[in-house]
Chain A
Amino acid sequence: MMMMTIYRGIALLVLLLVGHAMFRERDFWKQVTGVLVLVPLILRILLVK
């Protein structure tokens, strides 16, 4: 259980960092790349996939 909590915590941290980077990014296509990273992270945090 503790491992799972740590895992979800890491996934959430990475999600926030990617989100933050997207708002600072000035290239639209790199922002799109960020979205591709966000989707699986959201699914992992919710333990859907």
Chain B
Amino acid sequence: MFKKLSGTPLSALVLVLLSGVVALVTGKSFSAMHTLDPLVPAPGFERHMLSEWFAPLRDTPGDTPVYIQRGSEPGGTVLVMGGTHPNEPAGTLTAVVLLERARINRGRLIVIPFANRSAFTCNDPQEGAPQSFSLRCADGSFRVFRYGSRATNPVDQWPDPDVYLHPQSGQQLSGRERSNLNRAHPGTPQGPLTLQVAYALRRLLQEEKVDLAFDLHEASPEYPVVNAVVAHERAQELAAMVAMELEGLSIAIRIEPSPKNLRGLTHREWGDATETLAVLMETANPSQGRLRGRTDEALVLSGRDKCYARAMELGRLFINYSGDQTLDLRVARHTAAVKSFLENLGLLYPEKTVVMEEVPGFEELLARGVGAFLSPLSRDHGSR
């Protein structure tokens, strides 16, 4: 196929130098993955870093921004966390929408958009996932967000053991789960990075006396716990009120009790280790499902997949899949649920009331799209 050419020490030298140039160019591209997506927090948010609650995280790939807004009146404290799994973009984007829109009149709102920061710097092997996706803002400009991995970057935490023993319970899981932040809670001060991030989050919950904490996720449409709220037993009364309210708005949602024997997850460990009311929420994301076909940015944004349409016909899904499952819909579900939780928190526990305004509602998000509620980037926006 190729003409026979003789190699010489000179040609070898030239090729070795060429490999250095290629490594430099591609290395620069790979290194750019470690830059956080730029954000435009709404007025009133203060930027902190997670390492302020656990100093050993400082300057590590696990340190991540934490934004806090205090209302003018005292009240409760609510944490909204996205990005536990960066291949579940509705969780991250809901946190971003709250960060860029919310005005807190009473109580405090804490937002962590990139919980497992390290996992935003890589993709899952063999999944064919896109590197990023973009959303159109109201002024016609685009905001680009990274589509990451379920697990901490192996560059930051390696190797995985054959079996992962959850430190507090001794529960045995696949070794890969040691890199999964949602199997690491409540974390340990020593050990792998993922466990330390979980420990820092526990410290934040305890020291800031968080009353209600959300961990926002997505799951495959064929997974039974989807379009669901998973609530710790202390949060179930509140979750029931929210579910009734959402069902009244024709937003189907199911309540799942947090299993006592499934350890390392936020809804179990945050509820057990701290005073917070711990809630995890799931929407249906076809771009991470096992039944999906072509995996690209369009699938992330639209959730449109003929394989899932067929699975729906065969009755294999746990959602009402009518041909698509847009990112707008998934973010709208999460946002509507968070708003409902805040309203009902004040009804159940008046002293813990948090009053949040300016956040779009379910219908608004569906009608105008998520991008319309993101602030356009000005030229001086780096990662804030």
Contact B155 A30 (CB under 8 A): no
Max chain B Cβ within 10 angstroms of own Cβ: one of A3, A19, A31, A32: A31
Within 8 A of B (CB), among A1-49: 3-4, 7, 19, 22-23, 25-32, 34-35, 38-39, 42-43, 46-49
What number of A-B contacts does a CB cutoff of 8 Å give? Answer: 65
Contact B15 A31 (CB under 8 A): yes
**Contact A19/B16 with A29-B2, A39-B26 known, Cβ cut-off 8 Å:** yes
Chain B nearest Cβ from A23, distance in angstroms:
5
Contact A49 B20 (CB under 8 A): no
Question: Does B377 make an interface contact (CB < 8 A)?
Answer: no
**Contact A49/B7 with A35-B18, A38-B19, A43-B23 known, Cβ cut-off 8 Å:** no
Residue of B15, B26, B30, B158 touching A34 (CB-CB under 8 A): B15
Residues of B within 8 A of A47 (CB): 155
Within 8 A of A (CB), among B69-107: none
Contact B27 A48 (CB under 8 A): yes
Chain B nearest Cβ from A18, distance in angstroms:
10
Max chain A Cβ within 10 angstroms of own Cβ: one of B13, B16, B19: B19
Contact A49 B30 (CB under 8 A): yes
User: Which residues of A come within 8 Å of B, CB atoms?
Assistant: 3-4, 7, 19, 22-23, 25-32, 34-35, 38-39, 42-43, 46-49
User: Which residues of B come within 8 Å of A, CB atoms?
Assistant: 2, 4-7, 9, 11-13, 15-16, 18-20, 22-23, 26-27, 30-31, 155, 158-159
Beyond A38-B23, A39-B23, A43-B30, 11 additional contacts (C-beta under 8 Å) are A27-B4, A30-B7, A31-B12, A31-B15, A35-B15, A35-B18, A38-B16, A38-B19, A42-B27, A47-B155, A49-B26
Question: What are the 10 A-B residue pairs with the smallest beta carbon separation, nearest first?
Answer: A28-B5, A42-B23, A38-B19, A28-B7, A48-B27, A31-B7, A22-B12, A35-B19, A23-B12, A35-B15
